[in-house]
Amino acid sequence: MRQLKVALVLLIVGGLMTTAAFFMAFYTAEVQSFGTVTLSQQLDTAYPLTEAGAGGFTYGRPWFSQKIFYFHVPVALASFLVLIIAAYFAVRMLLTKRKEFDTKSRIAMETTLVYVMLTMLTGVLWTRASWGVWWDWEPRLTTYFILTLMVIAYFVLRNSIEDEERRAVYGAVFAIIAAINAPISFFITRIIPSNHPVVFKSGFATSNLIPFLTAMFGMLMLGFAIYVIRMSEERLRERLDAAKTALEG
């Protein structure tokens, strides 16, 4: 019960923080200029075409689509973080062979799935507003898509193994392999030039840092709340199973 109380507090505080960040993003944060975006073809966007030449069509970035920065970036960063945590538990599981680490790794992976889906959803909306297309095969989007497929594959793999011990080991191995992708996806926009903005490298106003950090911690708290709630549910289920076996005994 204590865990559920902790989870409830985290849920409320995290929810309040993300809501506060939402209002701050629109009322206190400065409008950041993100320069321009160059597309290979002329597209039907609501934003000004500043240059059309041999290199492509350059558009000014729309001001309001920048607001997604306060949700998309925190949720994406949180998804990387939770995936690394899942891989950490997977390593502990392989080293100790204890079942609780397998459960922890799996629950962390479930949280990753939720966050990855949220990142994809907000990202696709932003892409349509900013680049005029719903999807583009550019480095960051591609690597993140691969990451999404791997997180889904993790659950497909687990569901097709009956033996419990084997499921734990295979799941852990695949979680570690999948986590190799997180740093690749994070650093790729810093290595290969792409249309995906790298905000922290291109300069950042202080008044924008407050809503960003509020959203970041809010998202992390919400993620931790999901994790704690699912963990306590798993523990209850394990106790129920143990009680059932004892009664049948």
Q: Interface mask (CB under 8 A) for other proteins, residues 171-200, using x and -?
A: -xxx-xx--x---x----------------
Q: How far apart are CA 13 and CA 31, in angstroms?
A: 27
Q: How far apart are CA 47 and CA 193, in angstroms?
A: 22
Q: Interface mask (CB under 8 A) for other proteins, residues 202-241, using x and -?
A: ----------------------------------------
Nearer to other proteins, 115 or 174 (CB): 174
Residue 166 makes contact with other proteins by CB under 8 A: yes
Q: How far is the CB of 145 from other proteins (least distance, A)?
A: 9
Nearer to other proteins, 94 or 124 (CB): 94
Q: How far apart are CA 98 and CA 108, in angstroms?
A: 16
Residue 117 makes contact with other proteins by CB under 8 A: no
Nearer to other proteins, 38 or 142 (CB): 142
Site for other proteins in 71-100 (CB under 8 A): 94
Q: How far apart are CA 190 and CA 101, in angstroms?
A: 34
Q: In the set 162, 191, 203, 249, which binds other proteins (CB under 8 A)? A: 162
For residue 240, the tally of other CB atoms under 10 A from its CB is 10
Q: How far is the CB of 125 from other proteins (least distance, A)?
A: 24
Q: In the set 81, 109, 150, 228, which binds other proteins (CB under 8 A)? A: 150
Q: Which residues bind other proteins (CB under 8 A)?
A: 94, 142, 146, 149-150, 152-153, 156-157, 160-163, 165-166, 168-170, 172-174, 176-177, 180, 184
